[in-house]
Amino acid sequence: MEASLDRSAWLSLLATASPAVAKRTNSAVMKCVKLVVEDDCVTIFATDTELSIRVKGHPVGPSRPGECLLNFDKFKEILSSLPEELVKISVVGESIKLVCGKTKYSLPTLKVEEYPDVQFAIPDDSSIALPAGELTKFIRRAAFGAGESVSSDGRPARYVTTHLCLELTKAALFAAGTDTKILSVAEFPLAHKEPPAKILLPLRSAQAIVKALSDPTEGLKLAFGKHSLLISTERLSIHTLLVAGRFPPYFDILKASEKSATVKATANPSTLLAAFRQASSVADVDACRVAATWASTLVLSVRDSQVGEADVEASLDSYDGQPVEMLIDPTYPVKFLSVLASEKALRPVTIHLVSEQKPMVFDAGDNWKVLIMPIYFGEEA
């Protein structure tokens, strides 16, 4: 086996596969990535048995088919220390040879047949096609709402919160994430012929998908399995196992909250983001709460005997209804508005309000809605 790539090309392949490398294991085999060379293709394969990633590259110069296992951490460390030149990898006997200019390494190899095997094939008649950029944007919109299995107040979360809910309906694909204090729901209209499906995707798998799909223009295929989700492009394949669990009825929650709203406001998302960031800078870290008064303008007030005080006023484009006062954890609107800002969206945000004890619903447009729970007056920290 023999293949040569530029140092940066090897590092790029490793970075894409890295989320699937087993982090906590005593198995020498599971600490490795599998390198496969075939004609004009170099493939790096990584798996921790729950998440698997296969990424392809093209060798420079002559290559010889074969395969071997490379310790991920050691291979990355070596590559990081080398100059930006061609790096050749070959298998000679029981050793792996790395050559870069005048620098040479000899590393031990392990039995390739001991490495787990995962099937990445997607049948053409049971997949959904969409642009990679749309899928990553779609996942980002829901992923920030997912949290830990223990809520911020230290109590066990009622629902699965470290996973995203992906639901395929007749006309759309939905993604929802929640930590019980915030609920983010994104919809992607989609024409397809697949049967309806509803799955729970591990948050780390969702984050790996976003990281791996670095080219927003490439097309991909998405296949829902009973126990797994498979994503495939020309250069990349991702296979992740799903989990069993409950997820709140997000459709019903959003509809009920919007229906009960008595106040409607619109605002520039950049203005709101700046205001919440300014207010949170003097909010107590352990009990982060800001008094918000929604009226013709938004006034955020913080009173902390140790950190200080702040009054921040932000203009609203429109406001229809009676003034509403509530306590808010500013980290939630900051998370949401930061994701929206990363999309460089210029459209205004619509806010639906009811009272100090009812959730706010932010409508970001483009089929994306976020529900944020206030902190009830009189509630213990």
In a domain, 381, yes or no: no
> Is pTM beyond 0.85 here?
yes
* Residue from 269, 264, 266, 202 nearest 238 by CA: 202
Query: Could you tell me if 318 and 361 lie in one domain?
Result: yes
Please check whether residue 253 lies inside any domain of the structure.
no
Do both 187 and 274 map to the same domain? no
pLDDT score recorded for residue 281: 85
135 and 213 share one domain: yes
Q: Which residues does 289 contact at the CB level (< 8 Å), separation at least 6?
A: 283, 327, 328, 329, 375, 381
Q: Which helix (H) or strand (E) holds 273?
A: helix 269-280
> Could you write out the DSSP letters of every residue in 78-135?
HHHHS-SSEEEEEEETTEEEEEETTEEEEEE---GGGS--------GGG-EEEEHHHH
Whether residue 294 sits in one domain with residue 206: no
Q: Which two tokens stand for residue 317?
A: 């484009």
Residue 265 lies in a domain: yes
Reply yes or no on whether the pLDDT at 119 is more than 90.
no
The pLDDT score that the predictor gives to residue 195 is 87
User: Based on the domain organization, do 87 and 151 belong to the same domain?
Assistant: no
For residues 195 and 298, membership in a common domain is answered with: no
Question: Domain span at residue 104?
Answer: 2-114
Tell me which of 7-16, 149-158, 282-291 is least confident.
Answer: 149-158
pLDDT category at 379 given cuts 50, 70, 90 is: very low
Identify the domain boundary among 241, 266, 297.
Answer: 241
How many domains does the chain fold into? 3
Question: Which of 56, 86, 114 finishes a domain?
Answer: 114
Helix (H) or strand (E) run with residue 363 in it: strand 360-365
| Averaged confidence pLDDT in the chain | 89
Strands 51-57 and 41-47: antiparallel
DSSP helix/strand/coil, 230:
strand
pLDDT at 148: 58
Q: What local confidence, expressed as pLDDT, does residue 293 receive?
A: 96
**Which three-class secondary structure state does DSSP give residue 148?**
coil
CATH code of the domain containing 183: 3.10.150.10
